[in-house]
Amino acid sequence: MKERLQKLISRSGLMSRRQAEVKIRQGLVSIDGRIAQLGESADPALEEVRVEGAQLQFDSHTLTLILNKPTGYICTMNDPQNRRLASDLLPKELGRLYPVGRLDYNTEGLLLLTNDGELAQHLTHPSHQVTKTYLVKVRGWLDDAGRNKLETGVPLDDGLTAPATVSAVRRSGKNCWFELTLGEGRNRQVRRMCDAIGLSVIRLKRIALGDLHLGELETGKFRVLQATELLRLKKNAGL
């Protein structure tokens, strides 16, 4: 049965729909040897679909796991600078699993990896606003005025941030810890929000995605999501 190319590529687990659209526009997707166009459909049972020269493969078994990413790793599948990849922390026998969203090189904590392209697409789509909770350590003290700005919106160079939730504020010597929950996911958003109110982030760790929590998972370790966790995650993502 024919499906839109971007949906087909996403369903294969190779990348999200938005990433697939970019590849199609770049002329990197072909159907039976000819360059495909955005908006086309294909039937993988009858037609050969290739992305960047590699034939599209479908695995009926999907796998989603949670990794406690250490600092010093990046969330891409390859890196021209030869930095360490988050996927390097996984056994090769698990096959190709793709990061859902990104954590900065210097940010640690909860990272999902999956071969379920549809799930990845829904989790990263702005319309679903799956919340992300971070444990933040900053130099100085988060006073009431700073907290109010974080919770009502901080003006950044790409616009005012959406309201966030601040909780569990506590002192640690000359520093301060707090938890920050966001419903959006801009590039380096937590760090930029803190910079904008005069606080410098010295440690940043994602501890929850929706109602999925990192818990006691050790740094650098992973675990496969339980069936109930996966169902809740899909519900949060609108599936």
Rg (CA), the chain: 20
Cα angle 16, 134, 88; round to 5: 50
Q: Is 88 designated active site?
A: no
Candidate list 32, 59, 88, 104, residue with the active-site label: 104
| Number of separate helices (H) and strands (E) present in the chain | 6, 17
**Rounded-to-integer distance, Cα 104 and Cα 54, Å:** 29
Whether 117 and 127 have beta carbons less than 8 Å apart is answered as no
- What element of type H or E holds 207? strand 201-209
Cα 34–chain centre separation: 32
Nearest Cα residue to 118 out of 15, 194, 221: 15
Residues with a known catalytic role? 104
